[in-house]
Structure 1
């Protein structure tokens, strides 16, 4: 004679089968690429310029996500928004003030990362 088992244990037959989720239609998928970060190139930096010098000078135009200085005294400042980068470039083109780092006039222009 056979007895049914009374102990409760996990069985693969204990749960209900779920239907798979429907896949999104083609028009719902994003087709546009995200905008590339806005980078400003600063040329003519003094040789003793540090990242903190650049940050203190350029953070007044907007929030900065990354700063890098190459060995040949070229600085790369990546802003979080394009408006901030445009403001820094506009300040560099101002004939009355311009941009200075450690009392040395520098050139700043927009750098496209994906061109």
Structure 2
């Protein structure tokens, strides 16, 4: 049985929303010590965001050129984060907090074996 992209996205949104509801996320960064990832940040957390965005773009948009995974949250990363947030129906503020981070990690990092990013991307669990 082949599922449409819309069906897969819808199921992903539903599962992540349920996880957020169960864990009772109320703060901007639910994991202690993990700040939100935002414009101007640098380092491993930004590399994880960029990797997730490249996986998302590869799955749905077949980009001809991927984001450079350089660990610098600049204009291109900001633009892609906002598009990602729009696609998942969350606030398009360009900040990777626990909601956006959960979608990124559960959908585009963990299933691809990128487990270390749980230590760098804000998620509620």
Is TM more than 0.5 here?
no
Q: Identify, as 1 or 2, the structure richer in strand.
A: 1
Bigger Rg, which one: 1
Q: TM-score band (shorter)? A: 0.3 to 0.5
Higher RCO structure, 1 or 2 (CA under 8 Å, sep 6+): 2
Q: TM-score scaled by structure 2? A: 0.30
